[in-house]
């Protein structure tokens, strides 16, 4: 498996107050990689570095195996990019927009109907983009980005501000795309989304990568040394994994007082709190 994205010691100073510091990570072909971090952590800045909208001060970036400096502009026509600023035209309908992008990307127009169906916009296809709801706009933008089934897709907060049902639809579309071979790099504030979709996640804080692994490994690494026991009278007891804890569990089971026992894995939000001492 080759790396589609690789950063080595990348630094960038932006203004007086912010810098990306020695950023190193990779995204392998076929992965969905989630880039997490609170507002202002540098997620969008990193996408801008990877899509040549910003230039690093130092370090190396490789995109699909070649140094980013050698990546031709035309390569970005193949790569899908979905950012916070839409490039769809307000006055054109959803369908006109997609036909336009199909032509631009050299995709046959008959693909447009299929993609409209997949993002559930077939019925709304004659609606001008500016009259669409936020969820519809987001699905239309995503449809335009994936028309050519890109090998690599950058998504900056793809479900930000969307209702849970629309987010679910977008998750399904992304999972399908990934199964068909698209490598996905996405940024999100939403820990649950990252946990559900991503094979690996990187956690960024104040321009520095503070963790990078599979959600499962991170949870094991930061697992608490305790289990959770639910008693008959619905009390939740947290019991240490030691001799004393074992005795408490033994007594609860023998006394018929134990309803359930669960391990206590932290979620990604708790991991972030443990790493930084700050709420996400």
Ligand X SMILES: Nc1ncnc2c1ncn2[C@@H]1O[C@H](COP(=O)(O)OP(=O)(O)OP(=O)(O)O)[C@@H](O)[C@H]1O
Nearer to ligand X, 44 or 182 (CB): 44
Exactly one of 36, 44, 68, 197 binds ligand X (CB under 6 A); that residue is: 44
The length of the chain, given as a count of residues: 280
Task: Give the rounded distance of the alpha carbon of 9 from its chain centre.
Answer: 22
Task: Give the H/E segment covering residue 261.
Answer: strand 258-263
Q: Does 161 bind ligand X (CB under 6 A)?
A: no
Q: Residue 190 and residue 181: Cα distance in Å, rounded?
A: 24
Q: Does 39 bind ligand X (CB under 6 A)?
A: yes
Work out how close the CB of 99 gets to ligand X at its nearest, in angstroms, rounded to a whole number.
31
| Lookup: tokens for 213 | 């692994």
Work out how close the CB of 57 gets to ligand X at its nearest, in angstroms, rounded to a whole number.
13
Query: Which residue in 27, 12, 137 sits closest to 82, CA to CA?
Result: 137
User: Of the listed pieces 40-48, 87-95, 127-135, 209-217, which binds ligand X according to CB under 6 A?
Assistant: 40-48
Work out how close the CB of 205 gets to ligand X at its nearest, in angstroms, rounded to a whole number.
10
**Contact yes or no for 140/98 (Cβ under 8 A):** yes
User: Of the listed pieces 41-49, 70-78, 211-219, 235-243, which binds ligand X according to CB under 6 A?
Assistant: 41-49
Q: Does 40 bind ligand X (CB under 6 A)?
A: yes
Work out how close the CB of 44 gets to ligand X at its nearest, in angstroms, rounded to a whole number.
3
Contacts 24+ apart (CB under 8 A), 17-26: 18/42, 18/45, 18/207, 19/207, 20/45, 20/46, 20/49, 20/56, 20/207, 21/207, 21/208, 22/59, 22/208, 23/59, 23/207, 23/208, 23/209, 24/59, 24/209, 25/202, 25/209, 25/212
Nearer to ligand X, 41 or 173 (CB): 41
**Contact yes or no for 261/251 (Cβ under 8 A):** no
Q: Does 277 bind ligand X (CB under 6 A)?
A: no
Nearer to ligand X, 135 or 207 (CB): 207
Q: Does 159 bind ligand X (CB under 6 A)?
A: no
Q: Does 45 bind ligand X (CB under 6 A)?
A: yes
Largest CA distance in the chain: 72
Work out how close the CB of 45 gets to ligand X at its nearest, in angstroms, rounded to a whole number.
3
Q: Does 158 bind ligand X (CB under 6 A)?
A: no
What residues line the site for ligand X (CB under 6 A)? 14-15, 18, 37, 39-45, 189
């Amino acid at each position: 498996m080759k790396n589609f994205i690789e950063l080595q010691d990348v630094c960038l100073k932006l203004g007086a107050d912010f810098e990306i510091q020695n950023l190193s990570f990779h995204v392998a072909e076929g992965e969905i990689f989630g880039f997490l971090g609170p507002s202002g952590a540098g997620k969008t800045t990193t996408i801008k570095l990877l899509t040549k909208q910003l230039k690093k001060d130092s370090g190396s970036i490789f995109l699909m195996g070649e140094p980013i400096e050698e990546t031709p502009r035309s390569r970005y026509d193949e790569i899908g990019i979905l950012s916070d600023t839409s490039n769809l035209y307000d006055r054109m309908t959803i369908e006109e927009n997609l036909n336009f992008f199909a032509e631009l990307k050299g995709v046959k127009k008959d693909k447009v109907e299929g993609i409209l169906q997949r993002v559930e916009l077939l019925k709304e296809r004659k609606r001008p983009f500016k009259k669409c709801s936020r969820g519809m706009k987001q699905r239309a933008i995503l449809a335009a980005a994936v028309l050519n089934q890109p090998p690599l897709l950058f998504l900056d907060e793809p479900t930000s501000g969307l209702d849970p049902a629309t987010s679910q639809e977008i998750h399904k579309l992304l999972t399908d795309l990934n199964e068909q071979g698209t490598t996905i790099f996405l940024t999100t504030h939403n820990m649950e989304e990252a946990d559900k979709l991503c094979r690996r996640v990187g956690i960024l804080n104040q321009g520095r990568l503070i963790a990078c692994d599979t959600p499962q490994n991170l949870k094991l690494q930061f697992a608490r040394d305790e289990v959770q026991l639910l008693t008959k009278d619905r009390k939740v007891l947290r019991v240490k994994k030691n001799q004393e804890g074992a005795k408490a569990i033994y007594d609860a089971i023998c006394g018929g007082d134990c309803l359930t026992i669960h391990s206590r894995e932290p979620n990604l939000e708790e991991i972030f709190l443990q790493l930084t001492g700050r709420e996400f």
